A and B are shown apart, each in its own frame.
Chain A
Amino acid sequence: GQNIDQPTEMTATEGAIVQINCTYQTSGFNGLFWYQQHAGEAPTFLSYNVLDGLEEKGRFSSFLSRSKGYSYLLLKELQMKDSASYLCAVRDQDYQLIWGAGTKLIIKP
C-alpha cells in the first residue's frame, strides 16, 4: 500500500528553527509537495521537490532524498503565525496526490 508518515505534533520556540520530517512509500514518484494549513482554513502550497536536494524559499526550505523516501521541511526564524499544520504529499505514478495526516506545529513565545 501507499503510505506517508509524518509526526503528529511538534512544539518549537519563537525565533528558533524546526525540521518536520516526512517519509513515504508510494507506487512511483512524480514529486513531493508541502502545504501549510491554518486551523479552519484551506491548505496553501509551500514547496515542491522532484529532484534530490534542497529548495530554499525565504524562511522555508524543503529537502528531498528519493533513494531514502524522505523529505523534510525546515522553518527558520519561527514566528507565531507559523503555528499551523504542515502537510506532506507525494504524487504517485498515476499523478494522484497521496497525503500524510499532517504535522501540527505549535509555536511558543
Chain B
Amino acid sequence: IAGITQAPTSQILAAGRRMTLRCTQDMRHNAMYWYRQDLGLGLRLIHYSNTAGTTGKGEVPDGYSVSRANTDDFPLTLASAVHSQTSVYFCAWSVDGTDTQYFGPGTRLTVL
C-alpha cells in the first residue's frame, strides 16, 4: 500500500518552538489519524479526522492541534513543544472510520 508521505523524517527541536508535522495521502481516503509511539507503550491516538472538514480528539490530544482543510492533507501542529513530546509520530489512513488502518513511514521528533 503506497500513497502516504510524512515530513520531515526526523527533527530536533528546541523546547518552546512551534512545529508542524506534515502528512499527505494521494488516494483520497476519508479517514486519517495521528499517533505517537513511545518505548514500552502502545500507539496512542492524538487526533483523527473521519472526513475533510472534521476532526476529533484521541487519547492524548493536549499540546497538539490538527486541521483537515482538504482530503489529502492532515498536518499536526505542536504550538509550543515540550520535552515530553519527544516521540515517533505516525500518520495513518483508512478508507473510512471503520476500516483497517495503514501507516505512513513516521517522523522521529526530539524536543530538547
Q: How far is the CA of A43 from the CA of B40 in the complex (A)?
A: 15
**Total A-B residue pairs with C-beta atoms closer than 8 Å?**
41
Asked if B64 is at the interface of the complex by the 8 Å CB criterion, the answer is: no
Q: How far is the CB of A20 from chain B (nearest CB, A)?
A: 15
B100 in contact with A45 (CB, 8 Å) = yes
- Comparing A10-18, A59-67, A68-76, A95-103, the segment that makes contact with chain B is A95-103
User: By the criterion CB–CB under 8 Å, are A45 and B44 in contact?
Assistant: no
CB contact between A101 and one of B42, B45, B97, B102 (< 8 Å): that residue: B42
Determine the chain A residues whose CB is within 8 A of the CB of B40 once the complex forms: 101
Who on chain B is nearest to A96 by CB?
A: B45
B63 within 8 A of A: no
Query: For the complex, is A4 an interface residue (Cβ under 8 Å from B)?
Result: yes
B43 touches A45 (CB 8 A): no
Q: Which of B17-25, B68-76, B77-85, B103-111 contacts A (4 or more CB under 8 A)?
A: B103-111
CB nearest to B35 among chain A residues: A99
Given known A-B contacts A33-B100, A48-B100, A95-B98, A43 and B43 have beta carbons under 8 A apart:
yes
* Complex interface: chain B residues within 8 A of A4 (CB): 42
Nearest CB on B from A28, distance (A): 13
Q: A41 CA to B6 CA in the complex, in Å?
A: 13
B104/A42 in contact, CB under 8 A = yes
Let me know if A44 and B100 touch, CB within 8 A: no
A11–B40 alpha-carbon span in the complex (Å): 18
Contact of B102 among A45, A87, A89 (CB under 8 A): A45
Task: Please give the residue numbers on chain A whose beta carbons come within 8 Å of chain B beta carbons, in ascending order.
Answer: 4, 30, 33, 41-45, 48, 87, 89, 95-102
Q: Which residues of B come within 8 Å of A, CB atoms? A: 40-45, 48, 58-59, 90, 97-98, 100-106
A-B pairs, top 5 by smallest CB distance, nearest first, are: A99-B42, A42-B103, A99-B43, A101-B42, A43-B103
